[in-house]
Amino acid sequence: MSVKTRALVLDFGGVISRTLFETHEMTEQALGLAPGSLTWQGPFDPAGDPLWVAMQNNELTEREYWQQRTLEVSELAGERWEEMSQFVIAARGANPALIIRSEALDAMVKAQAGGARLAILSNELDLFYGAGFRDKLPFMKQFEVIIDATYTKILKPDPRAYHSCADALGMACKDCVFVDDQLRNIIGAQEVGMQTVHFDVQNPGQSYEQALSLLLSD
């Protein structure tokens, strides 16, 4: 069926890319750290990551969480990083395709085959990954719209962030299926009328199936 009046709107980190929690082994190898040096696991072990719990409780922002982790890993690696992008580029910059979820690529193909449009709505795409990161990923060209708060300075869950994405698509919020791994951002999308999927980083396939079901339904 045709769903040309609908759009799949994705967060990037955690939804399209694997989280840094999932790639500790890769990070340790890239930075020359001993195996097991990185112990924080975020949503994969909240009890062992009090800083993550604090972020989930809105006691600090996602940017503040990752700033702290950047400083910690920087010290372990003998570096003096001040920006998250320095950490990510050092850990993942050599071959960023390795961190992209295959489930995301499959969902993009299925969405477009059904006539849907694609967009990214991110709070920190270039801030966290570096300005040249997206150029290394050919599939990024499939996204008609990329809204990045690195430049707009309007972060989810501010209603203006969601409206700016829908407006750029020329669509109503109700015709957008928004996928994000942070509950606060999901609530923000719901409040402006978007259909939503709270992405489960421990079960990405199921989350994408749910998104496609909403996107391709009557």
Say how many domains are in the chain.
2
The residue among 95, 113, 145 that closes a domain is: 95
What is the rounded distance in angstroms from the CA atom of residue 184 to the CA atom of residue 169? 23
- Is 2 inside any structural domain? no
Quick: pLDDT tens for 174-192: 999 999 999 999 999 999 9
The residue among 74, 95, 116 that closes a domain is: 95
Q: Tell me if residue 8 falls in helix, strand or coil.
A: strand
90 shares a domain with 125: no
Average pLDDT over residues 25-36: 95
pLDDT score for 2: 43
110 shares a domain with 79: no
Quick: pLDDT tens for 117-139: 999 999 999 999 988 889 999 99
Q: How far is CA 15 from its chain centroid? A: 5
- Is 89 inside any structural domain? yes
209 shares a domain with 104: yes
CATH number at residue 179: 3.40.50.1000
The residue behind tokens 């955690």 is 14
Task: Look at residues 199, 162, 216 and name the one whose alpha carbon lies nearest to residue 6.
Answer: 216
- Is 116 inside any structural domain? yes
Segments forming the whole domain that contains residue 38: 24-95
Beta-carbon contacts of 146 under 8 Å, excluding residues fewer than 6 positions away, are 119, 120, 122, 125, 134, 140
Task: Look at residues 17, 16, 19, 10 and name the one whose alpha carbon lies nearest to residue 146.
Answer: 10
The residue among 78, 95, 112 that closes a domain is: 95
Whole-prediction pTM:
0.92
Quick: pLDDT tens for 54-111: 999 999 999 999 999 999 999 999 999 989 999 999 998 678 899 999 999 999 999 9
50 shares a domain with 112: no
